[in-house]
Amino acid sequence: MSTEKEKELAAKAAIKYIEDGMTIGLGTGSTAAHMITALAEEVAKGLNIVGIPSSESTKKLALANGIPLTDFANISAIDINIDGTDEFDPYLQLIKGGGGALLREKILAFNSKLNIIIADCHKQVSRLGKFKLPIETIPFATPILIKKLRIMNLHPILREKDNSPFITDEGNYILDLDITHISNVAQLENTLKQLPGIVETGLFLDIADIVIIGRGDTTEVFKR
């Protein structure tokens, strides 16, 4: 069974949690794209929901698939947020932001009653850190942050696209950090959030309620 099929299986299992009248957080990435396609099929059959996208790319995809959208001016909470991940550990702690959407994704997740994470089985790790930790930084502060993060042994790498810095939907930069030697990620999160110029990190701690993965031709569900 292909990785894409596993992502699709997880995505289809997640949309079964959705009920008529709900507001749905729409994640970003290749796994979330499967969820948007599956959700669009339900909307076409008459399911009445509104979506709130976590990125400009997801917004485009949702609109192209006929999913009605809203924003935080019109709602106070999201019923279910469904998003992908780059890694999840046995405690359902996550590293996200491989696609650079971590800031809006975390805002959606924080304002959701239920967070469902969907993935293929290769995202499961015994310990976070094989995937480099993305953090979103303000361009003005990025050079000094790089110096500070080097001293902290986090080996920051400025993410690039077409030989220029990758720019997020909020106009910021992404630094990818090596956290393989870090055992206490909660402490790391606190330390990073105290540095002015770091807008958000890709550590999603105590956020996922349910993780659904595709493994072969079946799904596995992990609950917090």
Ligand X SMILES: O=C[C@H](O)[C@H](O)[C@H](O)COP(=O)(O)O
What is the binding site for ligand X (CB under 6 A)? 27-32, 83-86, 96-102, 105
Closest by CA position to 200, among listed 76, 107, 132: 107
Smallest distance, ligand X to C-beta of residue 183, A = 23
Smallest distance, ligand X to C-beta of residue 13, A = 15
Lookup: tokens for 216: 């072969």
Amino acid at 187: Q
220 catalytic, yes or no?
Answer: no
User: Rg of the chain over CA atoms, in angstroms?
Assistant: 17
Q: Which is nearer to ligand X, 98 or 129 (CB)?
A: 98
Catalytic choice (6, 8, 87, 105): 105
Instruction: Please tell me the distance from the alpha carbon of residue 150 to that of residue 147, in angstroms, as a whole number.
Output: 5
Smallest distance, ligand X to C-beta of residue 97, A = 5
Q: Which is nearer to ligand X, 50 or 117 (CB)?
A: 117
What residue number has its CB nearest to ligand X?
Answer: 29
In contact, 136 and 205? CB cutoff 8 Å: no
Q: Which is nearer to ligand X, 25 or 197 (CB)?
A: 25
Residues placed in the known binding site for substrate? 28-31, 83-86, 96-99, 123
Q: Which is nearer to ligand X, 148 or 166 (CB)?
A: 166
In contact, 159 and 173? CB cutoff 8 Å: yes
Smallest distance, ligand X to C-beta of residue 106, A = 9
Beta strands, E only, the chain: 23-26, 50-53, 78-83, 87-88, 94-95, 112-120, 133-137, 157-158, 160-161, 164-165, 173-177, 198-201, 203-204, 210-215, 218-223
Residues identified as active-site: 105
